Structure 1
Amino acid sequence: MTRTSRSRVRPLPIVAHVLAVVAILPMLWVVVSALRPADDLFSTGLPTRWTLDNLRYVLTEVPVPRYLLNSAIVSVAVTVIALFTHSMAAYALARLRFPGRGLVFSLIISTLLVSLPVILVPLFLVVKQLGMLDSYAGLIVPAIFNAFGIFLLRQFYLTVPRELEEAAELDGCGYWKRYWHVILPMSRPALASLSVLFFLANWNAFLWPLTITRSPDLTVIQLGLSSLTGQYSSAYNYILAASVLAAIPTIVVFLAGQRRLVDAMKTSGLK
């Protein structure tokens, strides 16, 4: 092999493709098992016939649609409210001049060091005192605050030219109009990326919903899948079928916003 041909060999892309295949194979196995007939469940290789009976069963005999609806309500509500409040907080930290601004930002960032299990008990007591146990409010309100969202939007707003806001100020726009008509439309890429992260994080939430909900009508999809593992431990084709249904919204959201997500990650390190 010549030196030129050796330089053309790139081991890193080959390793990346191998890792991608290794990561995709379990997902393909889940989909194949969910579409496999019950009598062909433990056979090796690809099934000789396909069926939708497993999906039909979990949609009709198990309250999976209710689980999906609860997760959708919580995820969408948290995402919409968090994007609105986080964008205002980030704009204030990036543009407004007030005493202690750096300290406030440092305190917000320091919350990233605190995981949910550490504050689970005091957070539960606060939610209990507010009367939000076993309710949509208890699932939504504590999940709104996210320091990473404020950090990412603040970094994005620091890259926005001040001349745009100065021009709006000359037209008589105050802080609110500048935020609503200038900053918010320009922050659509960052907001789109954060919407993907917020939606996925709340769709996959397990510990907090398990802590504060008791009513079956408030069961989210991750708790529903956990209950299925005990109820249908010998028929894991139903569990895998429900898992496929639970993964579809996350895949759709990620594919729709993956480009915005990568762009925002690049932008967050500019300043």
Structure 2
Amino acid sequence: MRRLPKIAQKGESDMSKSKVSNTVRGDNSASWLKRFFHSGIILYIILIVLAVIYIMPFVTQIATSFKTDADATANPVSLVPEIWTTAAYKKLFLNSDFPVWFKNSFIVTIVVTLGRVFFDSLAGYALARIDFRGRNVVFSLLLAVMSVPMVVLLIPKFLIIKSLGIYDSYAGMILPLLIDAAGVFIMKNFFESIPRSVEEQAMIDRAGTFRIFWSIVLPMARPAIVTISILSFQGSWNELSHFIVSTQSSALTTLTKGVASLASGQLSQGNQYPVKLAAAVIMTIPVAVLFFIFQKQIMNSSEGSVKE
């Protein structure tokens, strides 16, 4: 009878130790979960999943462009072709007007990009620095143009191009795209961020407005210029609706119109998945290369332009 209390005491001790152990485990689990959530692992997992979802169509596009027609039709989302072949690329460059499409897109894109950088910068500087009558009205109209869907302007644009006699020509393809409201808006905001004291010394030396703009202010706007260049290149390279209403001749067909025509089976019968996606791959390369080269410079904060 004397041993019973000791046994009971021992049982109570074991139970208390078990409770303490469970409590410690619970605390460790809670702290581990807290560290897990605060470490940002979930955020990285979500970003990885989104990246895979975003990249997969491009990977599938590249893989399919190296397939045969039969393989692409039977296994459209397979990432490994059964037989690697460049027949789709040969067909594009040797048996189609693809080189003409590429040449037209290249010419239009380069001219439009250079023109937009120059004219958007001029207009942005005028709205930011020159105090002329009606400046606020012009800026309000600029914002209004940005809010209008481009599809609404297609018919008026066609009528104007026709009346000017530049329909179905490089002039009709290029001139309406030389000014971009969004580009003017970006340049205006950037020029306003540059201190006016930068221009005061040039004014004292009696430099003209254009000289101040060209020699002093414009070199300081490199981040904005890079941004406008990339946006203009991408926008004119991928433009479709404007070229539909401004050209008709097959000699002036651009990549966007040509690739769109492939969807209707222009080259031959069948699905033509490899040919279509090969054209899309080639069309994607210039914009992707340009973006990856200059992505770090897009709208970076300007370096200190005034030494104190």
Give the TM-score taking structure 1 as reference length. 0.92
| Structure 2 residue corresponding to 1:156, chosen from 172, 190, 193 | 190
Conserved? CA contact 1:229–1:236, under 8 Å: no
| Structure 1 residue corresponding to 2:71, chosen from 9, 18, 40 | 40
The verdict on how the C-alpha distance between 1:162 and 1:5 changes in structure 2, with shifts beyond 3 A counting, is: same
Is 1:240 the counterpart of 2:277? The answer is yes
Task: Output one character per residue of 1:139-169: Cα deviation in whole Å (capped at 9) or x when no partner.
Answer: 1111122111011001100111211100111
1:20 and 1:174 map into 2 onto residues whose CA distance is 50
Q: Which runs of 5+ in 1 are unaligned?
A: 265-271
Is 1:256 the counterpart of 2:256? The answer is no
With a CA cutoff of 8 Å and minimum separation of 6, indicate the structure with the bigger relative contact order.
Answer: 1
Is 1:194 the counterpart of 2:225? The answer is no
The verdict on how the C-alpha distance between 1:6 and 1:250 changes in structure 2, with shifts beyond 3 A counting, is: closer
How far does residue 20 in structure 1 lie from its aligned partner after superposition?
1.1
How far does residue 263 in structure 1 lie from its aligned partner after superposition?
2.5
Alignment-derived partner of residue 17 in structure 1:
48
Conserved? CA contact 2:69–2:271, under 8 Å: no
Runs of 4+ in 1 over 6 A off after TM superposition: none
| Structure 2 residue corresponding to 1:83, chosen from 117, 137, 141 | 117
How far does residue 11 in structure 1 lie from its aligned partner after superposition?
2.7
Q: Alpha carbon RMSD of aligned pairs, Å?
A: 1.8
1:223 and 1:125 map into 2 onto residues whose CA distance is 20
| Structure 2 residue corresponding to 1:211, chosen from 245, 263, 266 | 245
How far does residue 228 in structure 1 lie from its aligned partner after superposition?
1.2
How far does residue 35 in structure 1 lie from its aligned partner after superposition?
1.1
1:220 and 1:158 map into 2 onto residues whose CA distance is 37
The verdict on how the C-alpha distance between 1:127 and 1:198 changes in structure 2, with shifts beyond 3 A counting, is: same
1:213 and 1:159 map into 2 onto residues whose CA distance is 41
| Structure 2 residue corresponding to 1:172, chosen from 176, 201, 206 | 206
Alignment-derived partner of residue 29 in structure 1:
60
2:66 and 2:35 map into 1 onto residues whose CA distance is 48
1:8 and 1:227 map into 2 onto residues whose CA distance is 50
Instruction: Please tell me the residue identity of whatever aligns with 2:116.
Output: A
Q: Which runs of 5+ in 2 are unaligned?
A: 1-28, 302-308
Alignment-derived partner of residue 104 in structure 2:
70
Alignment-derived partner of residue 179 in structure 2:
145
Task: Output one character per residue of 1:213-253: Cα deviation in whole Å (capped at 9) or x when no partner.
Answer: 11111000011011111124422211111111111111112
How far does residue 133 in structure 1 lie from its aligned partner after superposition?
0.5
Instruction: Please tell me the residue identity of whatever aligns with 1:140.
Output: I
The verdict on how the C-alpha distance between 1:184 and 1:215 changes in structure 2, with shifts beyond 3 A counting, is: same
Instruction: Please tell me the residue identity of whatever aligns with 2:48.
Output: H
Conserved? CA contact 2:199–2:216, under 8 Å: yes
Matches within 5 A, 1:84-99: 84-99=118-133
Task: Output one character per residue of 1:43-85: Cα deviation in whole Å (capped at 9) or x when no partner.
Answer: 4441244222211211111111110111111111111111111
Task: Output one character per residue of 1:105-134: Cα deviation in whole Å (capped at 9) or x when no partner.
Answer: 111111011122212111111111100100
1:151 and 1:195 map into 2 onto residues whose CA distance is 14
The verdict on how the C-alpha distance between 1:43 and 1:208 changes in structure 2, with shifts beyond 3 A counting, is: same
Q: Greater CA radius of gyration, 1 or 2? A: 2
Alignment-derived partner of residue 269 in structure 1:
none
How far does residue 138 in structure 1 lie from its aligned partner after superposition?
0.7
The verdict on how the C-alpha distance between 1:262 and 1:51 changes in structure 2, with shifts beyond 3 A counting, is: farther
Q: Which moved more, 1:124-133 or 1:246-255?
A: 246-255
Instruction: Please tell me the residue identity of whatever aligns with 2:264.
Output: G
- The number of residue pairs the alignment matches comes to 265
1:206 and 1:121 map into 2 onto residues whose CA distance is 14
Instruction: Please tell me the residue identity of whatever aligns with 2:284.
Output: A
